Structure 1
Amino acid sequence: MKISVIIPVYNAEKFITQAVESALQFQEVSEVVLVEDNSPDNALEVCKKLAENNPRVKLYQHPDKKNHGAGASRNLGIEKSSGDFVAFLDADDFYLPNRFDAEKELFKNTEVEGVYGAIGVKYYSEKAREQYFHIYQEKLDTVYKKAKPEDVCPGQMNLRGSFGLIHLDTLTIRKSALYKMPNLFNASLRLHQDTEFTIRLSYYLKLFTGINDEAIAIRGVHENNRITKIETKEVKPASTKILMWNQLKNWAENEPNFPEEYKKHIERTQRSFEIANAGFVKKWAMIVKYFFLDFQSIRSGLYNINFRKDLF
């Protein structure tokens, strides 16, 4: 196996060395592709030293040297990658020694186009623990059960009950299969572009469960995580999810032969977040309206934790 590990780098000077070293521990990793995204800190200089000291580390920036977001940075990393397989890693996260154990076996089957596993959590400070423990706790974040490839897409959309989401740090893709997707990461989304990507990916590719009963990577949680603005209410959680589900809705509507059941579910999920994001009067007006027109929209919203949190 020749694996290209793609790491978008933004404001991560304290963590990027650990991330890179965790990827370089594997002989199967032929290169670590860093895409530095105009960081306000000293991350670019740290990346330059990493690239100078190890020929397997490749450093790129966007042509205009400006900030384009994680989605666009991952797209550039994929474009520059030369491996037969592509894996991803956030700059403040790191791999564990068992990261590619399942992949080495599963990818012997040429029908396997992608493999995903479980991610754990590490709090880099007590402040981060206090701020985010209610979200991540100490639990594994993963698809909760081994699933057939055809069940992964509806499972991630929570179409038939709780299923979990694929975290990019645990995802490895056969690069030749990746281009079955008409588009890669949605660069217009600054948040949730990873979830939007994995949902679409699981529609086109055969993705298999790897190790999901123990962590194969660690999510590093600190005070400056991108989710901070959401959790501190600088941005309403529902508003960012509306954008994501709207993009999925547009994709589904233009995808030939996309199941009507899936389309309806995406529309209802988007609607539930629109209700959650509305002002008090409009919120309840929408609830009354859809109680009669499409009660399932209200029901699906009530089962969404973020929706419930903002509704009452």
Structure 2
Amino acid sequence: MIEISVIIPVYNAAEFLEKAVKSAAYFDEVKEIILAEDQSTDHSLEICRRLLSEIPKVKLFQHPNGENRGAGASRNLGIDHATSDFIAFLDADDYYLPNRFDAEKKLFSNPAIEGVFGAIGTEYLTEKGKQEFQSKFKEVSLSTVNYPAEGKEVFRGLLSLTPEVFGTSFHLNSLTIRKLSLDRHHIRFNESLRVHQDTELIMRLAYHCYLKTGIIDEAIAVRGIHDDNRITKIIKYTPQYNQRQLLLWKSMYNWALSNRISPEYKKRIYLIYKSFDLSLKDGLIKYGCIFLELLKNPEIAKTKYRFTYYNR
């Protein structure tokens, strides 16, 4: 049997936390549930302490002096304290389904597979959250990739370098990864990113580690949509949205340079990064056409929009 540490960053999630924890405690494979409390301003810490006393699997950690350091730092805190061979993540307002680790139990018998990921569902917890979400995004009952993949095909798919559209990301709640792989490749969340640190970590994992799709045609976890979700506050193609994307892809480009990855990958990352940079510098708020041209035909787009790719 595989042994899993589930890491839950906790910030102002008092209303949902108990359901999340109990959904993880259900599994025999889950040996510990690490609550990384991040100086909540509601009574989340009180609930954490109660769950610590009631559920033997629960462990509670806080940052030094009880500081607030963000979701990335809280997940890193959990990783550093994890004692199991495998690590899974769960947001405090989400929950696992009974099939959460069905694929992992089979696939991790192959030592070459370092990580497994699947699909998640969506549940509307408040009417306002539902309206905000549906006004900004397409109705998505299942967040998943489009076809099975493994190894470098996952990384290429996330960068839209595959002939068939794979999907731009998958949800962190669906990922299970070997702790040894995180440590071997020195992979942790980028704490300087207050948002999108999960996407950035997934991209780096897909490059450094051998990932494989698990269950992608049905949900293995559920994302809760409510009034205070960050995702419901996002309005695409606004300066704030573009600035957050710019920080994400600037971080990815710096990573690409420091790791000397292949020119094909580095070039694609640069083009995505530069499209967001241009959208802010030139006031091109709704830059979708530029973005698509950069991805589909970068040579023409570079000439048309007059920027240079430096092969370094």
Length-normalised TM-score, structure 1 = 0.88
Secondary structure of the equivalent of 1:122? strand
How far the C-alpha of 1:294 sits from its partner, in A, is: 4.7
Deviations 1:195-235 (A, max 9, x none): 00000001111001100000000000111012344339986
- Cα distance in 2 for partners of 1:40, 1:118 equals 32
Gaps of 5+ in 2: 306-312
- Cα distance in 2 for partners of 1:236, 1:93 equals 26
Per mean C-alpha deviation after superposition, the further-off stretch among 161-170 and 231-240 is: 231-240
State the partner residue of 1:273.
276
Instruction: Say whether residues 1:144 and 2:149 are aligned partners.
Output: no
How far the C-alpha of 1:87 sits from its partner, in A, is: 0.2
State the partner residue of 1:25.
26
Deviations 1:9-47 (A, max 9, x none): 011000110000000010000000000000111101011
Residue number among 259, 265, 282 corresponding to 1:262 in the alignment: 265
- Cα distance in 2 for partners of 1:24, 1:233 equals 40
- Cα distance in 1 for partners of 2:201, 2:208 equals 11
Equivalence map 1:48-87=2 (5 Å): 48-87=49-88
- Cα distance in 1 for partners of 2:303, 2:25 equals 48
Q: Is the 8 A contact 2:36 2:62 kept in 1?
A: yes
Q: Is the 8 A contact 1:19 1:89 kept in 2?
A: yes
Q: Is the 8 A contact 2:154 2:211 kept in 1?
A: yes
Residue number among 192, 196, 209 corresponding to 2:196 in the alignment: 192
Deviations 1:60-115 (A, max 9, x none): 00012111111111011000011110000000000000000000000111111100
How far the C-alpha of 1:148 sits from its partner, in A, is: 2.5
Q: CA RMSD in A?
A: 2.5
- Cα distance in 1 for partners of 2:32, 2:19 equals 15
Length-normalised TM-score, structure 2 = 0.88
- Cα distance in 1 for partners of 2:92, 2:303 equals 38
Q: Is the 8 A contact 1:271 1:297 kept in 2?
A: no
Quick one: which amino acid aligns to residue 76 of structure 1? L
Q: Is the 8 A contact 1:156 1:199 kept in 2?
A: yes
Q: Is the 8 A contact 1:114 1:172 kept in 2?
A: yes
Instruction: Say whether residues 1:166 and 2:166 are aligned partners.
Output: no
Per mean C-alpha deviation after superposition, the further-off stretch among 220-229 and 111-120 is: 220-229
Gaps of 5+ in 1: 301-312
Per mean C-alpha deviation after superposition, the further-off stretch among 73-82 and 272-281 is: 272-281
How far the C-alpha of 1:298 sits from its partner, in A, is: 9.0
State the partner residue of 2:257.
253
Q: Is the 8 A contact 1:236 1:277 kept in 2?
A: no
How far the C-alpha of 1:276 sits from its partner, in A, is: 2.5
Instruction: Say whether residues 1:223 and 2:227 are aligned partners.
Output: yes
- Cα distance in 2 for partners of 1:277, 1:200 equals 25
- Cα distance in 1 for partners of 2:80, 2:284 equals 47
Quick one: which amino acid aligns to residue 197 of structure 1? L
Q: Is the 8 A contact 1:35 1:59 kept in 2?
A: yes
- Cα distance in 2 for partners of 1:43, 1:128 equals 21
Instruction: Say whether residues 1:242 and 2:243 are aligned partners.
Output: no
Judged with a 3 Å threshold, the aligned counterparts in structure 2 of structure 1 residues 299 and 150 are, in CA distance, closer, same or farther, namely farther
- Cα distance in 1 for partners of 2:3, 2:190 equals 26
Q: Is the 8 A contact 2:129 2:232 kept in 1?
A: no
Quick one: which amino acid aligns to residue 102 of structure 1? A
- Cα distance in 2 for partners of 1:184, 1:272 equals 26
Secondary structure of the equivalent of 1:4? strand
How far the C-alpha of 1:296 sits from its partner, in A, is: 3.6
Judged with a 3 Å threshold, the aligned counterparts in structure 2 of structure 1 residues 98 and 268 are, in CA distance, closer, same or farther, namely same
Q: Is the 8 A contact 1:268 1:296 kept in 2?
A: no
Runs of 4+, deviation exceeding 4 Å: 232-235, 281-284, 297-300
- Cα distance in 2 for partners of 1:282, 1:12 equals 33
State the partner residue of 1:42.
43
Quick one: which amino acid aligns to residue 278 of structure 2? I
Judged with a 3 Å threshold, the aligned counterparts in structure 2 of structure 1 residues 261 and 299 are, in CA distance, closer, same or farther, namely farther
- Cα distance in 2 for partners of 1:296, 1:141 equals 31
Secondary structure of the equivalent of 2:40? coil
Q: Is the 8 A contact 1:180 1:204 kept in 2?
A: no
- Cα distance in 2 for partners of 1:61, 1:198 equals 24
State the partner residue of 2:158.
156
Q: Is the 8 A contact 2:278 2:284 kept in 1?
A: no
Taking only the aligned residue pairs, the percentage that are identical comes to 48
- Cα distance in 1 for partners of 2:152, 2:304 equals 25
